[in-house]
Structure 1
Amino acid sequence: MEMTDRINALKAEKNALVLAHNYQRPEVQDAADFVGDSLELALRARKASEDIVVMCGVDFMAETVKLLNPSKRVLFPNLDAKCPMAAQLKPADIISAKEEFPDASVVLYVNTHADCKALADCCCTSANAAEIVGKMPSDVVLFGPDANLAFYVQRRTKKQVVAIPSHGFCRVHDLIGERDVAKAKSEHPSARIVAHPECVPAVQAMADAICSTSRMIDFAQKSEANEFIVATEVGMLHRLAKENPGKKFHAALPDATCTAMKKITLSDLYYALEDEKIEIEIPPEIAAKALPSVERMF
Structure 2
Amino acid sequence: MRLLLLAVYILTFLAGVPANVLAFRTFCRKVRTRAAPIDVLLLNLTISDLIFLAFLPFKMKEASDHMQWLLPFPLCPLTGFVFYVTIYNSTLLLTAVGVERYLGVVHPFRYALCRRPRYAVVACVLFWAVTSLNLSVVYIMPYAQWGDIAAEPPSTCYLNFTESELGIILRVRLELFLVLFCVPFLICCFCYVNFLLVLWRLPNIGRRKRLRAMGLALGTLAVFAVCFVPYNVSHVVGFVRHESEHWRNVALLSSTLNACLDPLIFYFSSAAVRSVLKRCLRNVVAKMHILKCG
Question: Structure 1 length as normaliser, TM-score?
Answer: 0.24
TM-score by length of 2: 0.25
Structure 1 or 2: larger strand share? 1
Larger radius of gyration between Structure 1 and Structure 2: 2
User: Higher helix share goes to which structure?
Assistant: 2
Structure showing greater relative contact order (alpha-carbon pairs closer than 8 Å, 6 or more residues apart)? 2
